Amino acid sequence: MVTYKAKGVVPDDHPWFGGVFTNATTERPLVDEADLLIGIGMDPVELIPRPWTCAAPIINYSPCAASHLHVPFAAQAVGEIPAAIRHLERHLPLCDWSHDVIRGRLNDQRARRPGSRCARVDRSASRE
């Protein structure tokens, strides 16, 4: 998932694109399945300022520390983002989610938008 400011960093048709994270109810089905949330360069000002109710802990890797006012970070690491990504690649186990699960949650998310005319995402010819 990306925030509004990061829209486009992961293309909408990428198999791991899970939508836009805003701290709203729309993305909750996917977020609620996570056992860990990881922010990469996340600025809490991008999120809807409402109580944080996500059960999974959230960590943030960013060039500067972020405020804990809206997001109760379990941990933050301040530094360069490429180094943070390399660190995560070395230390996190592989995810057992499938592209189909992500695609299904994204399609459900889009279908729940009021007045949505968004087509379902077809990634049958997507890259991995």
d(CA 66, CA 16): 25
Helix (H, G, I), strand (E, B) or coil at 121: coil
23: left (phi over 0), alpha (psi -120 to 50) or beta: left
pLDDT of residue 95: 80
d(CA 62, CA 20): 18
Name beta bridge partners: 62. 78
pLDDT values of the chain reduced to their tens digit, one per residue, 128 residues: 998 888 889 998 898 888 889 888 888 888 998 999 999 988 888 898 888 889 999 999 999 988 888 899 999 999 999 998 899 899 988 888 888 888 888 888 888 776 655 545 554 544 44
